Structure formats: structure tokens, C-alpha cells
Structure 1
Amino acid sequence: MDSYKQPSAFIITQHPLPNTVKDFWRLVLDYHCTSIVMLNDVDPAQLCPQYWPENGLHRLGSLQVEFVSADLEEDVISRIFRIYNTARPQDGYRMVQQFQFLGWPMYRDTPVSKRSFLKLVHQVDKWQDEYDGGEGRTVVHCLNGGGRSGVFCSVSIVCEMLRQQRCVDVFHAVKTLRNNKPNMVDLLEQYKFCYEVALEFLNSA
């Protein structure tokens, strides 16, 4: 999925299932991802397991996922991991930061705070620019890889538009995403929220 300035910037998926955790991390490594955005809660009852180590090392076949650090800032837990494929030592390791957003309860159609959601987008952008010069991809996941992930991608695209040319087309951003994946931004309230966050961005600039 393209962003405003980068082709194939986003990889949208559902939360890893118990039997797809290894595939998820392989995707992160093979597609040169530097960020993971998590927009749902861990809920084993809904087949949404914790797929990362809280400390130490997870071995998933030839893949190793090592916990490096964690930080809590308002509604975002950020965790850094080092990923390594022992079958391809010549590739070295990849540092990946996961951003778990806490400000979007499962019972709500939209996040609680526009400001905290905007801050999440800024944190991801900052890490992307600092670590990989903005070239790495971002994996975005929610319960079904649809509405919530679409809101994040739309807001991220809108923020890029505003930073680069000081004008915005929320309709086009959402329409482009939905042309690729029809269930993205699948509620009217989510569509309105994208406009509200764009206004919040302008007011805070």
C-alpha cells in the first residue's frame, strides 16, 4: 500500500494468529519493515495472542526475535526488537520498533483522542526517518486488517500531504486505500475522524 511519498510504504494485515506468528515475523524481516503499528488489544479469546517477547529471545525456526527495550509515552507503548535469520547470517539483523496504541478501546469506532492518535503517527514517522531514512516499510495491523488500519494509513498520508504542500485531500487518500482494500476506513465515523485529525494537525502546526 502506497503512502503519499513512498511506494509500498504500508503492509496491512490482521493481528497474527497463534499459527501465523512465525509467518508474521518472516514478513517483517523479508520485506525490510522497520515499524509495526498495533491498533487492537491482545485477546487470546479472539485469537489475538501476544506475538512478541517481553524480554529475552523468541526462536521461531531459523528466526530469532530479541527484545531490546520498551517505553510508555501517554497512549503508546513502543518496543524495540532485533530480528535475525540464523539461516542467512550474511543478511545481518534488523531493528524493528513496535508501536502499540492504547487509546482505541475495542468498543469504540474511533480513537478516544485525536491528539494522541496524531502523536502516534508522528512517532512512527520519526522512527522511520531516523532509523531507515524513511525507506523502510510499516506493518499496520488490527483485528481484521481493515477499518482501524485504514484510519492509520489515511491519517499518515494526510499528514505527509500537509507537511509537503500545505493542502490536503482526505477524500482522495481514503479512496485510494479503499480501491486497493475495500474494507479500509469502513465506517462513516472513521471517515469523519480522518478530517478531524487533519484539522487538529493544522491547528497544532
Structure 2
Amino acid sequence: MSLWLLAVFSSASTTCPCAVTLPSSEGYRRSTEFIITQNPLPGSIKDFWRMVWDHNAQVVMSLPGAEGLVKDEAEPCVFWPRKGKPITFGSFTVTLRSESHICLSNEDELVVQMYTLESAQDDYVLEVKHYRSSCWPNPDSPVSQTFELINLVKEENSDKDGPTVVHDDAGGVRAGTFCALSCLVQQLDAEGSIDVFQVAQLINLRRPGVFNKTEQFQFLFEAMLSLIGKREEDDSRAIVVGAATTESLESLV
């Protein structure tokens, strides 16, 4: 299997601190598929938008934070402007152009916003589509419905040149799970087989702490098995899933 991931930590002038690029499998759609990052802090908002600009990222996926995370009592950091109230961060101006809502099959609401990103140093205008989910993956929904959001984002970015930026409050397990499942779906489509253990291992090597509980790795297996089961019902073809023991999963934590 040729799936590989690369961590790139650049200076604040060129990219967002704590951002990690996750290239997709060699031979799949493109060399750089995702950027995992945390929600920007007040001092790094301009770096977040610089990262989006430099990588020509036209799709951003915002996910909820991990359960049990202690929230800061201070006012939340605002980096997505409201309608009619563009915000300037350094040399960049971000403007909300439109907002719509999608009701997913499990009745979760997905907010879809279109922004423009402009630089005072360039005439180019970057259009950025922002998906915001308040509950993904939803523990009260069938695990198979986890892929509805993944497929929406995949379809939106299919004709884009830049990577998809995926972030949660810490650049942690939610963002990592979204990217891992997205990569596994691509591997399944291209090869007819998957190696969940290797994908999880590579992500943890490049982004230590993304997965820190055995249950998080097991969720990747359960989600992919649900997808594979549905596909096998549809076309009766067997799909190979890489095996992993409990000991091997625990070795990643």
C-alpha cells in the first residue's frame, strides 16, 4: 500500500501554526488532500487565512471539539465574519457572501457558507466554501451515516486544485477521523481493499495525539465495515480489510 502522510510545520508567515498537511495515497486524486489544523487563536487568525490563501484551499470543514474538553471562559475567537460585516486580518479581508442549511438524513443540520478571501497585496479573489457541523460523528445515528458528510465534502472538492482544510478546536480526533475515513474511502474505491491500521498509524506518527484511545481506532474499523457491508450487499464482491489485533491498536495509543 502506498498511502503516505507528511507533516509540514512552516513559519507563521507562510502557514498556520500546528497545521499538518495530509497527502492522499499516491496515484489517487492529488498529492495533497487535506490540511488538519486547530481553531486559530487570537494571535494566529491571520496565519490561518494565510495558510488558506497560500494553499489555494477552497473548501473548509469545521467540526466540533472532543467531548469533555474544558472550554475557555473567555470570549470565543471570531474568525468567520457575519453577513455584511467583513473582517480584516493583517493583509486579508474575509467576507461572508451567502449562507444556507442542509438537513442530513439523520436530521443533523449542516451550515454551508460561501466566503471570499481578498489580499491587499493581490488582485486575486479566493472563494472559500465553509461547511460547519455541530455534531459529527453523531453517536445517536447509525455509524453508516458518518459517510454522508464525507461524501458531500469530497464531491465539493473534486474539481478544486487545493486541499480541504479540516479543523476542530484542537486539530485532534474529530479532524483526524474525518481525514482517515476520507482516505480509506479513496483507497477502497481505488484498490478494493483497505488497511485501517496503517492509516491510523501514519496519522498518529505525523500528528501525535490525534488518536489516543483504542476506542477511536475501533470506530474507524466499525465505520469502514459498515460501508463495506453495504457495498458487498449491492455488488456481492468481497473486500479485503487489513487485520489488526487489540495489542497492535493499543500500541498506537
TM-score by structure 1 length? 0.85
- Aligned-residue sequence identity (percent) comes to 27
Q: For the Cα contact (< 8 Å) 2:64–2:135, is it kept in 1?
A: no
* Structure 1 residues 155 and 78: alpha-carbon distance in aligned structure 2, compared to 1, 3 A threshold: same
Gaps of 5+ in 2: 1-21, 66-70, 232-253
Secondary structure of 1:96's aligned partner: strand
Q: 1:49 offset after TM fit, Å? A: 2.5
**How many Å separate the matches in 2 of 1:125 and 1:198?**
16
Deviations 1:7-39 (A, max 9, x none): 332211111112222221111111111221111
Q: 1:47 offset after TM fit, Å? A: 6.5
1:95 to 127, 136, 154: 127
Q: For the Cα contact (< 8 Å) 1:48–1:143, is it kept in 2?
A: no
**How many Å separate the matches in 2 of 1:58 and 1:79?**
15
Q: 1:157 offset after TM fit, Å? A: 0.6
Gaps of 5+ in 1: 105-109
**How many Å separate the matches in 2 of 1:37 and 1:58?**
20
Map of 1:75-114 to 2, 5 A cutoff?
75=108, 76-89=110-123, 92-104=124-136, 111-112=138-139, 113=141, 114=143
**How many Å separate the matches in 1 of 2:46 and 2:193?**
41
Q: For the Cα contact (< 8 Å) 1:37–1:98, is it kept in 2?
A: yes
Secondary structure of 2:58's aligned partner: strand
Aligned to 2:242: none
Map of 1:21-60 to 2, 5 A cutoff?
21-40=45-64, 45=73, 48-56=76-84, 57-60=86-89
Q: For the Cα contact (< 8 Å) 2:112–2:131, is it kept in 1?
A: yes
Q: For the Cα contact (< 8 Å) 1:18–1:48, is it kept in 2?
A: no
Residue type of the alignment partner of 2:148: K
Rg larger for? 2
Check if 1:65 corresponds to 2:94. Answer: yes
Check if 1:202 corresponds to 2:228. Answer: yes
1:184 to 210, 214, 226: 210
**How many Å separate the matches in 2 of 1:71 and 1:155?**
26
* Structure 1 residues 18 and 190: alpha-carbon distance in aligned structure 2, compared to 1, 3 A threshold: same
Q: 1:192 offset after TM fit, Å? A: 1.2
Q: For the Cα contact (< 8 Å) 2:57–2:128, is it kept in 1?
A: yes
Q: 1:63 offset after TM fit, Å? A: 0.9
1:153 to 162, 167, 179: 179
Q: For the Cα contact (< 8 Å) 1:148–1:185, is it kept in 2?
A: no
Deviations 1:144-181 (A, max 9, x none): 11222211111011111112222111111111111211
Structure of higher RCO (CA pairs closer than 8 Å, 6+ residues apart): 1
**How many Å separate the matches in 2 of 1:27 and 1:46?**
25
TM-score by structure 2 length? 0.70
Aligned to 1:107: none
Counting matched residue pairs gives 194
